[in-house]
Amino acid sequence: MFINIGADYPDKSRLTVVIWGENRDDTTEDIVDSLLGKEVVVFGSPYEYNGAAQIEIMDPSELLTYEEFIDAYENQ
């Protein structure tokens, strides 16, 4: 699954979040759909791939709305 943030493919100013098949489950698409139009926080190490930034995540929980991130941070 490729999730483009900030711009659509092939715009090189985008950030692409990649979730490979072995790291997805039945809820992944629902989680991703719930993030549409929201500010998000992605956990991972960005790298350049074909001139654009990319992050591979191992679990959809590494992709949160900004509000979820703040709530989790404040409750630590």
Q: What is the pLDDT of residues 7-57, one digit of tens each?
A: 999 999 999 999 999 999 888 899 889 899 999 999 999 999 999 999 999
Task: Name the band, by pLDDT with cuts 50, 70 and 90, for residue 71.
Answer: very high
pLDDT higher at 22 or 61: 22
The three-class DSSP label of residue 42 is strand
- Token look-up 């979820």 returns 68
Q: Does the CA dihedral 35-37-42-47 come out positive or negative?
A: positive
Query: What is d(CA 19, CA 3) in angstroms, rounded to the nearest whole number?
Result: 8
